[in-house]
Amino acid sequence: MVLQQVAKPTIVTRPDPDALAELGVPPERIPRHIGIIMDGNGRWAKARGLPRLAGHRAGTQNIRRVLEACRDFGVEVLTIYAFSTENWQRPPREVEGLMRLLSLSIHKQLKELDEEGVQIRHCGRLEGVMPRLRRRIEEAVERTKDNNRIILNVAFNYGGRAEILDAVRAIVREGIPPEEIDEEVFSAHLYTAGLPDPDLIIRTSGEYRLSNFLIWQAAYAEFYVTPAYWPDFDRQELMKAIRDYASRERRFGRLPDSSSG
Ligand code: IPE
Ligand code: IPE
Ligand code: MG
């Protein structure tokens, strides 16, 4: 399976046959792009009588496990919602803790992720991010840009509305005539330029909302909500989500394939 023309370099998935057999979903029914709203770290910690940051730590560690499972199933892009433009409104200590965790996990994991062929991308604004963390993100993106096994797209300091505004500004700045602005041109100015739209969006810990996540790109995504808190969302939970997705019929506004005349 190949990302046509759009993404550079081309992602060449190599699904693990045993993993696919266990999953029981044919390769053509595997979502190319999965977005995850990683929610519930705080509740996970609270349920254990731990501070919220312990939940964020466990949540950060969980990313690796889910990324590996996605790679084994042949998913091309995994977008994770790590920090929203609205999350700055949390108490300063929690915000600082989250920044520190991200910085640390890039520092600790970059070498291994690079060796495993993971292409790291950042999705969001880098303005306003502390210089040290900003440098680490830029380094991770630069170092892994030619990797082609799977894309880990990190939505950090991300907001769907901010992204749309940034695209509008870029389009106006470039002086593109109004009649030339179509969906393709617009998409090419989003942070996700070159990536396919998400096929499946998963939200952990039970809330039925997008919270400003990929609001343009999610137009036809299938939505899956699980009560599991993010730190508990493991390979088995991911398999449930993919099986559920694979059983659905996507219509994109058309009539079902079976009905004719
Ligand atoms: C998700 O967990 C992580 C971030 C939003 C950064 P939360 O921190 O939102 O956890 P809950 O919703 O309070 O349980
Ligand atoms: C969404 O979770 C943002 C991330 C997962 C990073 P929130 O916990 O911030 O969302 P709300 O506040 O419940 O909508
Ligand atoms: Mg939350």
Structural domain count, the chain: 1
Phi, psi of 30 (to 5 degrees): -80, 130
Over the stretch 36-81, which tens digit does the pLDDT of each residue have? 999 999 999 999 999 999 999 999 999 999 999 999 999 999 999 9
Q: What is the pLDDT of residue 194?
A: 96
Cis-peptide, bond into residue 196, ω within 30° of zero:
no
For residue 54, the domain's CATH number is: 3.40.1180.10
Please indicate whether residue 87 is annotated as part of the active site.
yes
Residue 254 lies in a domain: no
Q: What is the pLDDT of residue 5?
A: 45
Residue 255 lies in a domain: no
Torsion sign (Cα): 211, 217, 220, 222: negative
Quote the tokens at residue 49. 């009588």
Residue 7 lies in a domain: no
Residue of 62, 72, 87, 157 marked active site: 87
Ligand 2: residues with CB < 6 A are 37-39, 81-84, 87, 207, 209, 211
Residue 197 lies in a domain: yes
Give yes or no for residue 1 having a pLDDT over 50. Answer: no
pLDDT confidence tier of residue 237, bands split at 50, 70 and 90: very high
Residue 123 lies in a domain: yes
Residue 3 lies in a domain: no
Give yes or no for residue 257 having a pLDDT over 90. Answer: no
What is the residue with the minimal CA distance to atom 12 of ligand 1? 40
Q: What is the mean pLDDT of residues 102-124?
A: 98
Range of the domain at 160: 32-244
Residue 117 lies in a domain: yes
Mean pLDDT (the chain, rounded): 95
What is the residue with the minimal CA distance to atom 10 of ligand 2? 211
Over the stretch 48-60, which tens digit does the pLDDT of each residue have? 999 999 999 999 9
Q: Which of 43, 81, 84 maximizes ligand 2 atoms within 8 Å of its Cβ, making it the mutation to test the pocket?
A: 84
pTM of the model: 0.96
Q: What is the pLDDT of residue 8?
A: 54
Over the stretch 180-207, which tens digit does the pLDDT of each residue have? 999 999 999 999 999 999 999 999 999 9
Percent of the chain with pLDDT over 70: 96
Q: What is the pLDDT of residue 258?
A: 76
Residue 20 lies in a domain: no
> H/E/C letters for each residue in the chain?
CECCCCCCCCCECCCCHHHHHHHCCCHHHCCCEEEEECCCHHHHHHHCCCCHHHHHHHHHHHHHHHHHHHHHHCCCEEEEEEEECCHHHCCHHHHHHHHHHHHHHHHHHHHHHHHCCEEEEEECCCCCCCHHHHHHHHHHHHHHCCCCCEEEEEEEEECHHHHHHHHHHHHHHCCCCHHHCCHHHHHCCCCCCCCCCCCEEEEECCCCCCCCCCCCHHHHCEEEEECCCHHHCCHHHHHHHHHHHHCCCCCCCCCCCCCCC
Give yes or no for residue 6 having a pLDDT over 70. Answer: no
Q: What is the pLDDT of residue 259?
A: 73
Over the stretch 146-173, which tens digit does the pLDDT of each residue have? 999 999 999 999 999 999 999 999 999 9
